[in-house]
C-alpha cells in the first residue's frame, strides 16, 4: 500500500537538512550573526516594472469588468508570446504553443518523469541538483550516475557505453557552475537522437551566462526532436518567492508513437490549475526592455559578489570552479575535510552557511558550494571571516 521507495532517498531534502543544522546553531548562539551562502535564494527585490505589472493585475482582479477566473491551461498567451520573444532574442525559434507556464522549475523537473515508465532508464550526472535524483528514486526508477569530476570539468559527455533513455542535464550546472559549450551540447543531442533518448535540460541559470556558451539547448540543431527545456524566473528575475517558470515541450518530440507535448498538456491540465494571473502579468513584464534591464542589473550584482568570493579563494589557494557564468562557486574543502565537516566548521568558526557538496552526489564529497546571492559587502564579510578562520589554523 505504501511507496517504500521513499526509503531509497535521504531522510531529509538537502536544503531542509541545511536549514535544520542552521536552526540548531541559531538556538545555541542567538547573538552570532550568520551570512547565508547556502540555498540559492535571491536577495534583491523584484524590479519596478515587474512590481507595477503585478500591482496593476491585482487591481484588475478587484474589478468586476476585468476580473479573471481560471486561466488557460498552458499559461496566458501574452506570457507565452513574451517568452517566445525572449528565445528569439537568443536567436532561437520557440513557438508559443510549445511553452507551458508553471510555478517554477523544481515542480516541472519533479513532475515531468510522469511521462515515463517506472522502468525507464534514467541517467543523472553526479554531482547534480538533488531533485532529479530524489524524484526518480521516489518513483522507483533505476538511476545510473554519470561521473562529473574535476578531470572532465564537471561536464561529462556521452559515449556508446551509456544506456540511457531519460537524461538530465543542467547548464550552467548546479552545483558546480560549469557550463557546456556548443560542442558538448551537440554531443548530447546527437546521443539522444541516435538512441531515442529524451534530454530534460535545466536552464534555470541561463541568464548568468556571460561567456557566450549556449543559453538554451535549442541552439543545437535537432534538439527540438529530443529535448525538453525547463527554465525558471527564480534566479533570472528574483521570483523565488513569487513563483513562475516555463517549460518547452516541442510538438516535434515523439517517442514510441506518443507525442510528449500532448502528454504533458494532458498531465498538467489534469493535475494543475496554472499560475496566478498577477504573477503571469509580472512575468510578462520581466521580458520587456525595462524588465530585462532591471533583471540584468541584479544578476550583474550577484556576479560581482561571485567575483569577490573567487578573489578570496584565489588568495587562499583553494581550488574552485564556477562563479563566472553562474551564481555558484564549487570549492574544494580545505585540509581534506569532508563536506559536512567543513559545513559544520565553517558555521561554527565563521558564521557562514554554505552547502555541502556530498548532498549533490557521491562525487561531491570533499567539495562545498557557495552561492553568491548575498550582497557584495556581505560576500566580502563572509570570505574575510572564512579566511581569518583558516589562517588562524
Phi, psi torsion values for 285, nearest 5 degrees: -65, -25
Q: Looking at 9, 19, 22, 39, which residue binds ligand MLT (CB under 6 A)?
A: 39
CB of 373 to ligand MLT, least distance (A): 9
**CB 119, CB 100: distance < 8 Å:** no
Q: E strands, the chain, where?
A: 35-36, 99-102, 122-126, 143-147, 166-170, 198-202, 227-232, 245-248, 254-255, 258-259, 320-322, 328-332, 352-353, 355-356, 367-371
Binding mask 121-150 for ligand MLT (x = CB under 6 A): --------x---------------------
How many beta carbons lie within 10 A of that of residue 348, not counting itself? 14
Q: 39 or 162, CB closer to ligand MLT? A: 39
Phi, psi torsion values for 227, nearest 5 degrees: -130, 140
Q: Looking at 136, 174, 305, 358, which residue binds ligand MLT (CB under 6 A)?
A: 174
Q: 39 or 312, CB closer to ligand MLT? A: 39
What is the spatial distance between Cα 51 and Cα 286, in angstroms, rounded to a whole number?
10
CB of 188 to ligand MLT, least distance (A): 22
What is the CB-side half-sphere exposure of residue 347 using CA atoms within 13 A? 25
CB of 59 to ligand MLT, least distance (A): 30
Q: Looking at 40, 238, 245, 294, which residue binds ligand MLT (CB under 6 A)?
A: 40
CB of 35 to ligand MLT, least distance (A): 15
Q: 166 or 353, CB closer to ligand MLT? A: 353
Q: Is the dihedral of CA 103, 13, 359, 145 positive or negative?
A: negative
Q: 106 or 324, CB closer to ligand MLT? A: 106
Binding mask 286-305 for ligand MLT (x = CB under 6 A): --------------------
Nearest to 234 by CA among 35, 43, 12: 43
What is the spatial distance between Cα 141 and Cα 139, in angstroms, rounded to a whole number?
6
Q: Looking at 49, 83, 106, 170, which residue binds ligand MLT (CB under 6 A)?
A: 106
CB of 129 to ligand MLT, least distance (A): 6
- Residues whose CB falls within 8 Å of the CB of residue 3, separated by 6 or more in sequence, listed in order: 138, 140
Nearest to 253 by CA among 52, 95, 121: 95
Nearest to 371 by CA among 327, 337, 311: 327
**Is the N-terminal amide bond of 177 cis, ω within 30° of 0?**
no
Our finding on whether 22 is near ligand MLT (CB under 6 A) is: no
CB of 191 to ligand MLT, least distance (A): 26
Residue with cell 527540438: 224
CB of 368 to ligand MLT, least distance (A): 13
Q: 39 or 387, CB closer to ligand MLT? A: 39
CA 304 vs. chain centroid, Å, equals: 20
Q: 202 or 381, CB closer to ligand MLT? A: 202
Q: 243 or 324, CB closer to ligand MLT? A: 243
Binding residues for ligand MLT, rule CB under 6 A, total 6
Q: 92 or 200, CB closer to ligand MLT? A: 200
CB of 271 to ligand MLT, least distance (A): 20
Q: 74 or 234, CB closer to ligand MLT? A: 234
Nearest to 328 by CA among 170, 104, 135, 156: 170
What is the spatial distance between Cα 357 and Cα 132, in angstroms, rounded to a whole number?
16
CB of 21 to ligand MLT, least distance (A): 15
Phi-psi region of 344 (alpha: psi -120 to 50; beta: other; left: phi over 0): alpha
CB of 372 to ligand MLT, least distance (A): 11
Q: 174 or 298, CB closer to ligand MLT? A: 174
Name the closest residue to ligand MLT (Cβ): 40
- Interacting positions 194-253 with ligand MLT (CB under 6 A): 234
Q: Which residues bind ligand MLT (CB under 6 A)?
A: 39-40, 106, 129, 174, 234
Amino acid at each position: 500500500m505504501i511507496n517504500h521507495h521513499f526509503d531509497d532517498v535521504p531522510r531529509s531534502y538537502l536544503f531542509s537538512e541545511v536549514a535544520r543544522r542552521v536552526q540548531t546553531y541559531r538556538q545555541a548562539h542567538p547573538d552570532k550573526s550568520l551570512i547565508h551562502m547556502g540555498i540559492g535564494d535571491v536577495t534583491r527585490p523584484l524590479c519596478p516594472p515587474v512590481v507595477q505589472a503585478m500591482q496593476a493585475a491585482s487591481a484588475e482582479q478587484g474589478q468586476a469588468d476585468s476580473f479573471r477566473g481560471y486561466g488557460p491551461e498552458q499559461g496566458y498567451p501574452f506570457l507565452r508570446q513574451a517568452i517566445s520573444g525572449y528565445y528569439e532574442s537568443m536567436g532561437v525559434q520557440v513557438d508559443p504553443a510549445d511553452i507551458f507556464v508553471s510555478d517554477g522549475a523544481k515542480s516541472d523537473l519533479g513532475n515531468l518523469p510522469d511521462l515515463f515508465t517506472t522502468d525507464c532508464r534514467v541517467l543523472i550526472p553526479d554531482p547534480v541538483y538533488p531533485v532529479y535524483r530524489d524524484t526518480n528514486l521516489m518513483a522507483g526508477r533505476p538511476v545510473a550516475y554519470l561521473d562529473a569530476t574535476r578531470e572532465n570539468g564537471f561536464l561529462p559527455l556521452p559515449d556508446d557505453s551509456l544506456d540511457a533513455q531519460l537524461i538530465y542535464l543542467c547548464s550552467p550546472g548546479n552545483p558546480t557552475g560549469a557550463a557546456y559549450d556548443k560542442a558538448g551540447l551537440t554531443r548530447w543531442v546527437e546521443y539522444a537522437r541516435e538512441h531515442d533518448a529524451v534530454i530534460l535540460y535545466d536552464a534555470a541559470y541561463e541568464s548568468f551566462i556571460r561567456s557566450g556558451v549556449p543559453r538554451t539547448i535549442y541552439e543545437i540543431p535537432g534538439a527540438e526532436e529530443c529535448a525538453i527545456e525547463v527554465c525558471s524566473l527564480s534566479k533570472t528575475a528574483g521570483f523565488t518567492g513569487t513563483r513562475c517558470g516555463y517549460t518547452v515541450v516541442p510538438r516535434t518530440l515523439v517517442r514510441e508513437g506518443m507525442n510528449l507535448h500532448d502528454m504533458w498538456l494532458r498531465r498538467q491540465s489534469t493535475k494543475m490549475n496554472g499560475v496566478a494571473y498577477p504573477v503571469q502579468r509580472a512575468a510578462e513584464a520581466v521580458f520587456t526592455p525595462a524588465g530585462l534591464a532591471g533583471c540584468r542589473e541584479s544578476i550583474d550584482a550577484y556576479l560581482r559578489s561571485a567575483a569577490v568570493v573567487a578573489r578570496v579563494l584565489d588568495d587562499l589557494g583553494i581550488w574552485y570552479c564556477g562563479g563566472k557564468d553562474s551564481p555558484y562557486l564549487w570549492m574544494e574543502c580545505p585540509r581534506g575535510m569532508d563536506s559536512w565537516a567543513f559545513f559544520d566548521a565553517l558555521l561554527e568558526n565563521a558564521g557562514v552557511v554554505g552547502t555541502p557538496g556530498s548532498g549533490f552526489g557521491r562525487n561531491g564529497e570533499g567539495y562545498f558550494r557557495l552561492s553568491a546571492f548575498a550582497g557584495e559587502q556581505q560576500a566580502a564579510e563572509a570570505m574575510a571571516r572564512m579566511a581569518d578562520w583558516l589562517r588562524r589554523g
